[in-house]
Amino acid sequence: MQFIFRPQIQPWHPSSTLVHEAGIAVSRLAAPGRFWDFAAALFAAQREYYDVSVVAETRNDTYRRLARLAASSAGVSEDEVFGLLEIPDKPAADGGLNVGNAVTNDLKVVIKMARLVGVHVSPTVIFDGVVANEISSSWTDDQWIEWLNKNIT
């Protein structure tokens, strides 16, 4: 059995994009293994990045907090993470205003992969190539164990 964890943005929560971009930045800087350290810290602090928690700050302010969390949890440079996430406040050389950041193209690939297999919500579990619609984000440990025992063993 192989588990593949892919970020799935929930666009109805604007900060979802920001936290997923931070995960990509950590993966780029610290090798994928350090992503798990950051993900664990982010799950523990998730309420700090919910809609109400970020509404009064700028996007770059949220990125700065995420970079600080990445530095403390995954051993990466706060400034390097922020450098990958920061949105410039000036147009690009060609006058473009939707310039994104240094992980925008990586994020596009993740989104394309999800679309190709029909992922629309989080979590989406794909088992033997088929979406397992019965799985829910509200599942308990016992429900996961029961499902795994039924389907894997």
| Residue 153 pLDDT greater than 80, yes or no | no
Residue 124's pLDDT band (boundaries 50, 70, 90)?
confident
| Residue 3 pLDDT greater than 90, yes or no | no
Cβ atoms of 26 and 81 within 8 Å: the answer is yes
- Give the per-residue pLDDT at 13: 92
- Give the per-residue pLDDT at 41: 97
- Give the per-residue pLDDT at 114: 87
Q: Is pLDDT larger for residue 133 or for residue 25?
A: 25
- Give the per-residue pLDDT at 63: 98
Number of other CB atoms surrounding residue 99 within 10 Å: 13
